[in-house]
Amino acid sequence: MPVQYSGITDEHLAVRNHAGVFDISHMGEFFVSGPGAMVWLNTLLTNDISLLKTGDGQYTLMLNERGGVIDDLIVYRTEPEQFLLVVNASKIEENAAWMTAHLPADGSVVFEDQSRMWAALAVQGPAAPALLDHLPPRNGVKTGGSVIICRTGYTGEDGFELLAPAEAGSAWFERFVQAGAKPCGLGARDTLRLEMCYPLNGNDLSPDRTPLEASLAPFVAMNKGHFIGRDTLAAQKADGTHDRLVAIRLVEKGPPLRSHYTVFADGQPVGTLSSGGISPSLGFSIGMAFLPASHTAVGTKLEIDVRGKHHAAVVVKKPFYHKTA
Amino acid sequence: MTFPDTLRYTSSHEWVRLDGDMATVGITDHAQNELGDVVYLDLPAAGRTATAGEALAVIESVKAASDIYAPVAGEVMANNAAAAATTSLVNTDPYGDGWLFKIKVSDPEAVSSLLDVAAYKSLVGQ
């Protein structure tokens, strides 16, 4: 996927107002099946997979022993005893190695990395659902034909993600473009997800930060029983003083925020931006940063250092962008 | 893409228009196309002394921040406040209303050692 086709702003607004298509074939697809699949996955993932009926999907995270994030992913229950995991491209090998190493010895679970076999397209925007028949309900998955249709995305808009055999990917892409979806690149994918405060692994998620720090508690089922990383989360939850990932905007029109910019409060450095940009929908500069609990309340006054100049900033409620339909 | 043959160019994609000893500087059509939508300009203040090759301005697109270099030495005489306020001018009119700053050059001869249009076109594969 290129950074842009017609321009990031143009592509971004097409997704917000009509429809765009992203080639996300780089993402990974794992299939986990067998009588032990559900119980085993629930020991590796933070959300409660037992809540999924066949045809449902959920956002979830896979943690290391320290409670840090290995990857965030969506898991779909495609059959009573089969699950599809869609994972980040840069983490395919690490995820596969981690999962394989933790497979139960009794043979009750089969793990298969099918990442090379599937092309994937994200078709997103208010007009996207009309571009394909037989869509599953929100967060759901539909299998059975030559393609897998997932009613999910990374933009905050309605739409779907279509998995097709690798050789069929470009024909599907063309088909959606012909139907009116604008080709979109990595740049718009980033601005769209940032307006929604969806985390990006490698920026806002890391092996050294827990999902509680990343403000993803709704996707962590502490009461489902043991899972890898839970002990750290339980301790953090009891203590309550951990850093949190917050949404920050510049108060006035200014430069786009970028990851690695230093965040100040009362002249003292308090954190570093993990993501940043300028919001094409809203017209102001936005970012996210892990800040100490004392500086995470909405309305907290901050400054961001951009090339030596401090710009007034403020903690705001997530997400930045709200659909006004 | 257009590259006026009355201008001089740099390998870092600035253009220079010399009027007496006053050089107007901007970025080329190729550069604005590569950057994409320009959303912010950090321009040098009038009175600042510039050495050739010094990073003098920053141009930010949605994608990234890029340094803009002084093509020649001199003193900054003006910057384009209109472009700083309406940054899309850099995309829509890079050689006109999208200019960035003006330098009173110490040595006007230095401008003639910059790339001519043929050399710049070949640099960007046109």
Chain B contact present for A2, CB below 8 A: no
Average pLDDT per block of 10 residues along chain A, 325 residues long? 92 98 98 98 98 98 98 98 98 98 97 98 98 96 95 98 98 98 97 98 98 98 97 95 96 96 97 97 97 97 97 98 79
Q: Kindly report the nearest CA distance between residue B36 and chain A, in angstroms.
A: 6
Which of the residues A4, A12, A192, A194 would you substitute to probe the B interface, choosing the one with the greatest number of B C-beta atoms within 10 Å?
A4
Domain region containing B98:
8-107
Number of independent structural domains in chain B: 1
Q: How many other CB atoms are there within 10 angstroms of residue A144's CB atom?
A: 9
**Do B60 and A280 make contact, defined as CB atoms within 8 angstroms?**
no
Residues of chain A with CATH 3.30.1360.120: 8-28+76-195
DSSP codes, A117-148: GEEEEEEESTTGGGGSSSPPSTT-EE-SSSSE
Asked whether residue B13 is assigned to any structural domain, the reply reads yes
Chain A residues with CB-CB distance to B37 below 8 A: 7-10
> Which class does domain A8-28+76-195 fall in?
alpha beta
Q: What is the pLDDT of residue A1?
A: 85
Is the separation of the CB atoms in A180 and A44 below 8 Å?
no
Q: What is the pLDDT of residue B101?
A: 98
Is the separation of the CB atoms in B117 and B39 below 8 Å?
no
Is the separation of the CB atoms in A121 and A157 below 8 Å?
no
Token pair for A196: 């929604």
Chain B contact present for A183, CB below 8 A: no
Asked whether residue B2 is assigned to any structural domain, the reply reads no
ipTM entry:
0.87
What SS3 state is found at A152?
A: coil
Q: What is the pLDDT of residue A325?
A: 53
Beta-strand relationship, A159-165 and A262-265: unpaired
Nearest-CA neighbor of A318 among A292, A294, A289, A278? A289
Measured between CB atoms, which of B37, B39, B63 is closest to A3? B63
pLDDT tens digits, residue range B20-72? 999 999 999 999 999 999 999 999 999 999 999 999 999 999 989 999 999 99
Q: Which CATH superfamily is domain A243-316 in?
A: Aminomethyltransferase beta-barrel domains (2.40.30.110)
Chain B residues with CB-CB distance to A1 below 8 A: none
* A189 → chain B, closest CA residue: B63
Beta-strand relationship, A82-87 and A69-79: antiparallel
CATH number assigned to the domain comprising residue B84: 2.40.50.100
DSSP 8-state class, residue A91: G
Cα distances from A26 to residues A112, B8, B27, in angstroms, run 17, 42, 34
Asked whether residue B115 is assigned to any structural domain, the reply reads no
Nearest-CA neighbor of A172 among A23, A29, A26? A23
Is the separation of the CB atoms in A282 and A243 below 8 Å?
no
Residues of chain A with CATH 2.40.30.110: 243-316
Q: Please, is A249 exposed, middle or buried when counting C-beta atoms within 10 Å of its C-beta (0-12, 13-18, 19+)?
A: buried
Nearest-CA neighbor of A45 among A18, A22, A76, A16? A76
